[in-house]
Amino acid sequence: MFIIFILQLLYVLGQDDDPIHTSVLYGSSDLGYYYVNIYVGNPPQKQSVIIDTASQITAFPCDACDSTSQCGNHVDQYYNRTNSSTYKELDCNSSFGECSCFKCLNKQCIFSISYSEGSYLEGFYVNDQVIFGDLLMEAKTSQNESISKKDRSVRSVFGCTTRETYLFKTQLANGILGLSPKTNTILAFPNIVDDIHDQENGMKLFFSICIGRINGYMTIGQYDFSRHQKNSTYYTINYFPTQNKPKYVIKISEIRVNNKTILPGSDLQAGEGTFICSGCTIIYAHPHVTRELVNVFVCDSPNCPNMEYFEDTACYVYNKTLHGSYEQFISFFPTYQFVMDNNFILDWTPKDYLTKSINQDDAYCLPVQEYYGNRKVFLGQVWMRNWDIGFDKENQTLTFVRSNCSSDNLKHNFTADDLFLKELNQSNITLKNRYPPPIDIDQEFAYESVGVIAVFIISIIIIILIFCIRRIYLNRKIQIESKIPVDEDETYKTVQQKVFVAQ
């Protein structure tokens, strides 16, 4: 045990060129998401959180949630506030970064998030120390003293979830890590990337995500250049967030296959455009885009079987006798070229996109499905595979570099057979809960607050209208009642006159 600790110590101290914060990504297409571990409080409590570039909030269950009815059973224990000596609760007057509490109940700063597939989170905000980085935590001493200055924690705000539904309740990971470009605003508290940038001198407002077919890694502060091939080429493009679209929207001028345009930029920029969504499993798009992508998904070999649909995705069944190795099998399929700014063309190869079917052994699919909500295109995890994508929030740019995205930074060269066989073996032990509908950030808490305000204003207008209508009704009733005695008096006088004449 002592020897293992010494080896870890030497390894960590030797990583002078690595960024301060690096963490392994856990996940796969079978699992349906990728997550990192963060360590919260003092002493640290591990929390697994799904990385989501389309969400503004970080949240996970805490000891205030009832595990029998309100929150699910997850891979880690709930965050326990009383066990942390650095825990602080946010009251109604609290502020952190650019954001002040704007939603309050029972003297607590509260939140609620709705998602398009029905999942829901609610709870209250808290403030505590957070550490990002698996390897550094593993090399800690039993007294929880850091062996390296790289490992220091930062103070951060996150949601203490007290109620979760549907996928959030059933998933293995405890919660969600919001990585939206619109954090640290008047409507959203800073996320861990903002906090590390603000609280550590010299750190860039930058993070990178490298998703492999199984697992991967994430860095905060700068690229982990030791994980890239020598003489790697780096491509940088702009992203375009707006106030009511807190997403990494990118401009794709066209998609090509075999040097032929299959989709022009007008189809990809229509509606809310195209954006990167690490919380989405696959590519979701409106029917026209989906149809054109599937039409060119053709297996170019006389031994290819007919295309079939499993789980609503187009697939081909792999047969080793007919198709040879995986390397040979994937060579039968086309490469999609996403043409972007600065002459950058992202090659989405079969090695990147072919995804194993859950219900059909040895069937490999094009992970694209139709989305019938607002007109937009979600570029999910499968589109991000095998690229280390750097998100520079300060300059509003994205940088792409090819990488095998191994959680082991010493391994770079994997054959297709290595990757596909590993995925095939692991698929038998992962959750079979894939392809959840994409998260719709438009329903997040910031917009929900606007909705509450709108309902409040409409309610006031309705009350005023009811009051006015009732006032008019009462006035008319008073006028009618005031006329009745006069009419009856006149009738009485007429009758009396007639009686007098008769007499």
Per-residue pLDDT tens digits for 456-503: 687 788 888 887 887 777 777 665 555 444 444 444 444 444 444 444
Q: What number of other Cβ atoms are within 10 A of residue 343's Cβ?
A: 8
Average pLDDT over residues 14-35: 75
Instruction: Judge if the upstream peptide bond of residue 302 is cis by omega within 30 degrees of 0.
Output: no
Residue 234 near residue 228 (C-beta atoms within 8 A)? no
Instruction: Judge if the upstream peptide bond of residue 43 is cis by omega within 30 degrees of 0.
Output: yes
Residue found under tokens 């007499």: 503
Equal fold, 27-203 vs 225-436: yes
**CA dist., res. 380 & res. 402, Å (int):** 17
Parse the chain into domains and list their residue ranges: 27-203, 225-436, 444-503
* Joined tokens for residue 192: 């861990």
Residue 412 near residue 85 (C-beta atoms within 8 A)? no
The model's pLDDT over 79-91, given as tens digits with 9 standing for 90+, comes to 999 999 999 989 9
pLDDT computed for residue 424 by the predictor: 72
The model's pLDDT over 308-334, given as tens digits with 9 standing for 90+, comes to 999 899 999 999 999 999 999 999 999
| Residue 297 per-residue DSSP state | -
pLDDT computed for residue 410 by the predictor: 53
Average pLDDT over residues 445-458: 56
* Joined tokens for residue 406: 């191994």
Residue 58 near residue 192 (C-beta atoms within 8 A)? yes
Q: What's the pTM?
A: 0.81
* Confidence band, pLDDT 50/70/90 cuts, at residue 70: very high
**CA dist., res. 111 & res. 239, Å (int):** 28
The architecture (CATH level 2) of 225-436 comes to Beta Barrel (2.40)
* Joined tokens for residue 109: 């700063």
Q: What number of other Cβ atoms are within 10 A of residue 370's Cβ?
A: 14
pLDDT over 80 at 187, yes or no: yes
Q: Which CATH number fits domain 27-203: 3.10.20.580, 2.40.70.10, 3.10.105.10, 1.10.1740.10?
A: 2.40.70.10
Among the listed residues 341, 345, 355, 228, the one whose alpha carbon sits nearest the alpha carbon of residue 283: 355
CA-CA-CA-CA dihedral for 171, 177, 180, 186, to nearest 10? 120
The dihedrals phi and psi of 331, each to the nearest 5 degrees, come to -70, -15
The dihedrals phi and psi of 497, each to the nearest 5 degrees, come to -65, -45
CB neighbour list of residue 399: distance below 8 Å, 6 or more residues apart:
208, 223, 234, 235, 236, 389, 390, 392
